[in-house]
Structure 1
């Protein structure tokens, strides 16, 4: 079947969209290696004289270990609890038939329609009433709640795609739902578990708005909030800001690149049932 679009046109469109992503990304990384004067005269191109002072100032800062620890702690608990809760919920929706399951699943998936920003005010008030402001759990629990919709959806599709004969054979042998979930379903679902884990980790690592609203003490700031140290009422140290942003996004990009094979395997694992 002949393609309806000329290949050159298709490739040109792809190149344009690729440049829209690559140019800002490269400019951000290059900006961290420039002086302020060179950044103003050459904001997009590579630096004429590479300087590592900006990155060294950030990595040797007194708050660097605290930011890293807080981000790792929040991300680890967010990923772990999201995988546990979403896996059990997805298994219930995939294997257990109960009254209102479809309606409950649709209600859960409605959360995917609303970004965090739309509910930040009522969320702030609820966290205040629960005494969770300026605590790690004030960030972790909302991140889990907002990530459950897509996590349950992806896992449920993967669980449904597993052969039904496995559950029938397990029932004959007297296997319970819990034993089947731990011994059969989860080992077969490692690709989708990896996919959900990577997506949740990247989202938690890059989250800026929620910690900004919830956390007040600098001792609890995760890595993205460290950027505020380079902004003041008198000006912004843009070279340090760009270096800091680079250190924030590069680990997430590298993680996605190395885990791309597992992500694709997890997303396509439920495409064909049987």
Structure 2
């Protein structure tokens, strides 16, 4: 009887599973479709001919044409612009990571007068659009003899990426308990040793996050390289897309192929580091 009496109570304690609102999934699928559809269209358009695109703009490749991508890949200009973009993006990413993590470490682990004001100063950089300062920035780079140089693009890009980098890294580094630092100091490590041997390895998700954001932003940068890099041999892929589109305005398939190849490295880099990005942003929010 006692066992029988407990059965209804067990049934009453069971809670029905709650399913999310179907509208949430509909909105998520709609956002995903709007984001992915243009990329898919550009990539598939490179496997078609211009005549096929004109006849059926929304059609699938039939038959698949591989020569369009092959023509782009055999052009020396494409590879030269790819190397320029890669050089600028890698150096920019390294500069953002080095200066950003050093500034975030000081703002997170040191106590000094004006610390919060300095942090607020960095965060205000998020409200300052780079396009608004492009003309005075170009005049400054010209006066410093940095116009038409790689560093004329790299240094401003590092500066514009520092605010978001510090905003992500500071709470992540501040979230580590003080006991961990005290234990390191007891073991004979100093502040820099604690930073180098403990904080940096544990901050890998946040570092990967800021690295990907800096790399993608540098890779897709158009306005700054357009004004600074006047020499054709120094131009990047976004500028190459514009030049290719102007020179081959009648070759729609070729333009789509060139565009898809230009965006592919940043897209692949972002996809491979997706899990680390999520972890880094979660750590920043929790901090």
TM-score greater than 0.5 by the shorter chain: yes
Q: Which residue of 2 aligns with 1:18?
A: 32
Q: Which residue of 2 aligns with 1:207?
A: 221
- Whose Rg is larger? 2
Q: Following the alignment from structure 1 to structure 2, what is the Cα–Cα distance between the partners of residues 34 and 196?
A: 37
Q: Which moved more, 1:228-237 or 1:103-112?
A: 228-237
- Unpaired runs of at least 5, structure 2: 1-14
Query: How big is the shift at 1:253?
Result: 2.1
Change in CA separation of 1:230 and 1:182 when aligned onto 2, cut-off 3 Å: same
The equivalent position to 1:67 in structure 2, one of 76, 81, 106, is 81
Confirm whether residue 98 of structure 1 aligns to residue 112 of structure 2: yes
Query: How big is the shift at 1:173?
Result: 4.5
Q: Following the alignment from structure 2 to structure 1, what is the Cα–Cα distance between the partners of residues 260 and 140?
A: 34
Deviations 1:132-171 (A, max 9, x none): 1111001101110010001111111110011211222333
Deviations 1:163-220 (A, max 9, x none): 2112223334553322221122112111111111111111111212211121111111
Confirm whether residue 50 of structure 1 aligns to residue 64 of structure 2: yes
Query: How big is the shift at 1:234?
Result: 8.7
SS class of match (1:133): coil
CA contact (8 A) 1:139 1:211 kept: yes
SS class of match (2:112): coil
Confirm whether residue 149 of structure 1 aligns to residue 163 of structure 2: yes
Q: Which residue of 2 aligns with 1:159?
A: 173
CA contact (8 A) 2:248 2:254 kept: no
The equivalent position to 1:168 in structure 2, one of 167, 182, 205, is 182
Equivalences, count: 273
Q: Following the alignment from structure 1 to structure 2, what is the Cα–Cα distance between the partners of residues 211 and 162?
A: 39
Query: How big is the shift at 1:7?
Result: 2.7
Confirm whether residue 137 of structure 1 aligns to residue 151 of structure 2: yes
Change in CA separation of 1:159 and 1:37 when aligned onto 2, cut-off 3 Å: same
Q: Following the alignment from structure 2 to structure 1, what is the Cα–Cα distance between the partners of residues 127 and 114?
A: 21
TM-score (norm: length of structure 2) = 0.87
SS class of match (1:84): helix
Deviations 1:240-267 (A, max 9, x none): 2211111122222222222111111212
The equivalent position to 1:252 in structure 2, one of 240, 243, 266, is 266
Question: Superposition RMSD on alpha carbons, in Å?
Answer: 2.4
Confirm whether residue 240 of structure 1 aligns to residue 247 of structure 2: no
> Within 5 A, what are the aligned runs for 1:176-195?
176-195=190-209
Q: Which residue of 1 aligns with 2:51?
A: 37
TM-score (norm: length of structure 1) = 0.91
Runs of 4+ in structure 1 off by over 6 angstroms are none
CA contact (8 A) 1:230 1:236 kept: no
Q: Which moved more, 1:194-203 or 1:171-180?
A: 171-180
Q: Following the alignment from structure 1 to structure 2, what is the Cα–Cα distance between the partners of residues 117 and 100?
A: 29
Q: Following the alignment from structure 2 to structure 1, what is the Cα–Cα distance between the partners of residues 107 and 264?
A: 37
